[in-house]
């Protein structure tokens, strides 16, 4: 019986989807507890290749109950489309329960996300335009719509009236956009309510009971530590906490329930969106890593945008692991580095001519940081077929030992390819 959080130590896209898919095999519950359809988890298994945005990564196993917790930003259209696409591709009907306390991403949130990015122009944050920031703004301004509200028409109408009042003023006067009609939004939500009904439940009670019964529960994080609004690279952060510490809150479990925190770390760095990225590569060096990274190059699973890429940053990763409270690390995409004679790794930040630090600074200082790199010998071979640590080339083992020492957390698992079976446990 273990409650495990699987979370990102970097900017997201570390390969959490694959690792969750692997761990889900022995879990009874897989829970999404924060964020919405703004990040994609790539999973490659016997059914094919999938990019999940809203569904938990346990949907491919019939033994797993998949839960969308109260802390999430529920995008009903994306959720239902994903479910249908799984079914049409031969995946058996997944067990899915959506919290009646989860809140709904509304079309108006997406609209505001787009209009605000346009208004900000060159100052924009590189939003995925899935409505996430306006959604969480509404949630904390107490203007959100809970799933349970969908089944009380009078209440839903009054909640929408309250929410639309100020938005229509902004639409007309700030964004020069036509105001939104309450009736059409209400109609759309009532239609969604019917489609959603079979999946809605009290997930907090379900999880508490599962915890009391000693079931294995996997809490699946989205994005990574450096995107956390409190501790990450603000304001180039997301709008909900990406940390394992938030996982029991967003899922609805006691804070002491989690005993295992797996921080997923990528063997190099990648980043989608704007903001300082100290080890970023440019030109041909970047192109090569981008082309060879991930399962089909480093291109966003949600947006298709080319991801920014760079060398492994142990300053950022050590900080990320600390924030996550990592009890172990899963190091992914190690196979990708097999083309390099030497592998540069960032071991410090130069903040000025006289100031080199190994601490991850706040954004104001981070903007000016340049990397201090150490070069490790490459292994110059394909390791994607290797299944035991002992069989890795000596340089690959050295790389893993170096990373472990630099970030201060044991690397318990290595991923050497995008497929389920391409895994080494230590």
Give the interface with ligand GDP as residue ranges (CB under 6 A). 8, 12-18, 39-42, 44, 294-295, 301, 332-333, 335-336, 415-418
121 — phi, psi (to 5°)? 55, -125
Kindly list the catalytic residues. 13, 41
Note if the bond before 235 is cis, omega within 30 degrees. yes
Name which of 211 and 236 has its Cβ closer to ligand GDP: 236
Minimum separation from the CB atom of position 10 to ligand GDP (A): 9
Minimum separation from the CB atom of position 270 to ligand GDP (A): 8
Q: Looking at 100-216, which runs of residues are DSSP E strands?
A: 103-104, 200-201
Q: In sequence order, what are the beta bridge partners of 65? A: 29, 95
Minimum separation from the CB atom of position 420 to ligand GDP (A): 10
Give the integer Cα–Cα distance in Å for 21 and 38.
19
Nearest to 293 by CA among 265, 333, 264: 333
Q: Please provide the distance, in angstroms rounded to a whole number, between the alpha carbons at the two ends of the chain.
A: 21
DSSP secondary structure string for all residues of 29-75: EEEE-SB-TTS-EEEEETTEEEEESSS-TTTT-TTPEEEE-TTBEE-
Minimum separation from the CB atom of position 56 to ligand GDP (A): 12
Name which of 116 and 335 has its Cβ closer to ligand GDP: 335
Name which of 108 and 403 has its Cβ closer to ligand GDP: 403
Q: How many CA atoms lie within 13 A of 283 on its CB side?
A: 1
Written as six digits, the tokens of 298 are 């480093």
Give the integer Cα–Cα distance in Å for 253 and 211.
8
């Amino acid at each position: 019986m273990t409650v495990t959080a699987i979370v990102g130590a970097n900017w997201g896209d570390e390969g959490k989807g694959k690792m969750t898919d692997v761990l889900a095999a022995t879990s009874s519950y897989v829970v999404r507890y924060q964020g919405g359809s703004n990040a994609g988890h790539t999973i490659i298994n016997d059914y094919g290749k999938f990019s999940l945005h809203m569904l938990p990564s346990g949907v491919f196993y019939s033994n797993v109950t998949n839960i969308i917790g109260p802390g999430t930003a529920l995008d009903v259209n994306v959720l239902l489309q994903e479910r249908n696409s799984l079914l049409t591709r031969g995946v058996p009907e997944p067990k899915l329960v959506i919290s009646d306390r989860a809140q709904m991403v509304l079309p108006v949130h997406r609209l505001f996300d787009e209009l605000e990015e346009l208004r900000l122009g060159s100052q924009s944050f590189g939003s995925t335009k899935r409505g996430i920031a306006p959604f969480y703004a509404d949630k904390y301004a107490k203007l959100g719509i809970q799933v349970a509200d969908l089944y009380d028409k009078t209440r839903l109408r009054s909640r929408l009236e309250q929410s639309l009042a100020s938005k229509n003023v902004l639409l007309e006067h700030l964004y020069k956009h036509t105001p939104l009609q309450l009736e059409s939004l209400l109609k759309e939500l009532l239609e969604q309510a019917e489609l959603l009904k079979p999946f809605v439940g009290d997930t907090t009670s379900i999880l508490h009971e599962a915890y009391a019964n000693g079931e294995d529960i996997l809490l699946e994080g989205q994005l990574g530590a450096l995107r956390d609004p409190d501790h990450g690279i603000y304001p180039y952060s997301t709008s909900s906490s990406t940390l394992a510490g938030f996982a029991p809150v967003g899922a609805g479990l006691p804070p002491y329930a989690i005993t295992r925190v797996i921080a997923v770390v990528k063997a190099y760095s990648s980043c989608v969106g704007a903001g300082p990225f100290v080890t970023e590569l440019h030109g041909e060096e970047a192109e090569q890593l981008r082309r060879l990274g991930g399962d089909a190059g480093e291109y966003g699973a949600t947006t298709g945008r080319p991801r920014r890429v760079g060398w492994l940053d142990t300053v950022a990763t050590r900080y990320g692991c600390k924030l996550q409270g990592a009890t172990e690390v899963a190091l992914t995409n190690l196979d990708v580095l097999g083309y390099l004679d030497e592998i540069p790794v960032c071991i410090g930040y130069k903040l000025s001519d006289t100031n080199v630090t190994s601490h991850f600074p706040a954004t104001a200082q981070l903007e000016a940081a340049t990397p201090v790199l150490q070069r490790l010998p490459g292994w110059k071979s394909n390791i994607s077929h290797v299944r035991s640590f002992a069989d890795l080339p000596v340089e690959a083992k050295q790389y893993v030992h170096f990373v472990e020492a630099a970030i201060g957390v044991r690397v318990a698992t290595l991923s050497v390819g995008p497929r389920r079976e391409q895994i080494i446990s230590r």
